[in-house]
Copies of this chain bind each other. A is one copy, B any other.
Amino acid sequence: MRDMDFVPLGLAADLVILTVRDGRLQVLLIRRGIPPYEGQWALPGGFVRPDEDLETTARRELAEETGLTTERIHLEQLATYGAPDRDPRGRVVSVAYLALVPDLPAPVAGSDAASASWIDVQKVRGLAFDHDRILTDGVERARAKLEYSPLATAFCPPEFTISELRGVYEAVWGTPLDPRNFHRKVTKTPDFVAPVGTTTTRDGGRPAQLFHRGTATTLHPPMTRA
């Protein structure tokens, strides 16, 4: 690093916000109200303010788009995209973040002027800028992380059943899993989940135990895709 050299450029934080709804992996997109790419779908995001940390920007945008208290939301840096021609307005470097949120009880309200919607990840094509690529990277990250981390719980409400957790894996990976073996594996992996002590019949059939997140940060051995 030599002299300071302030090239004129914009610094943005864009968000890949994923959730599982109706058994399908979905992403929160906004429809752009202004050029460039007016009318097209894009990832939510915004410019980093002076003296604002990158993650603070991301969390602020997340709160604006989802209307949620974001303290308990999983948010991690994904990657940075800086091709010189990625934004027709000029040089804009975007730090992308990946957020995993539970199926929201409240609708996506108050997301300023632009209209926001949950869209099936499978159906998304033709996003503005290089957002197709960013989304692909985010989904791939999420798929990989479910294998060796307890991150699937980030898609669940505070209390969940084992089959709800299984539904997350099936939606994100797009493959069916054996309910019996899944149950055994999850409950036997140390600190993956912890029993609450109560049961629910919201999934039908025999009452299922409720669990909340355990304290594990990595899974040994990992969960395996079919």
A4 is contacted by which of B48, B79, B90 (Cβ under 8 Å)?
B90
Interface residue count on the A side (C-beta < 8 Å)? 37
Q: Is the CB of A10 within 8 A of B4?
A: yes
Question: For residue A53, which residues in chain B have a CB less than 8 angstroms away from its CB?
Answer: 82-84
The interface-forming segment of A39-47, A169-177, A183-191, A209-217 is: A39-47
- State the CA gap A224–B11 with chains docked (Å): 40
Copies of this chain in the oligomer: 2
Question: What is the minimal beta-carbon distance from A32 to any residue of chain B, in angstroms?
Answer: 8
User: Chain A 1-44, CB within 8 Å of chain B: the 1/0 string?
Assistant: 11111111111101000000000000000000010000000100
A interface residues (Cβ-Cβ under 8 A, vs B): 1-12, 14, 34, 42, 45-54, 77, 79-80, 82-84, 89-93, 95
Given contacts A7-B10, A50-B91, 13 further A-B contacts (CB under 8 A): A1-B12, A2-B34, A2-B47, A3-B47, A4-B10, A5-B47, A6-B10, A8-B50, A48-B82, A52-B84, A53-B84, A54-B82, A54-B93
A-B contact pairs, 12 of them (CB 8 A): A4-B47, A4-B89, A4-B90, A4-B92, A7-B49, A50-B91, A53-B84, A54-B80, A54-B93, A80-B80, A80-B95, A93-B95
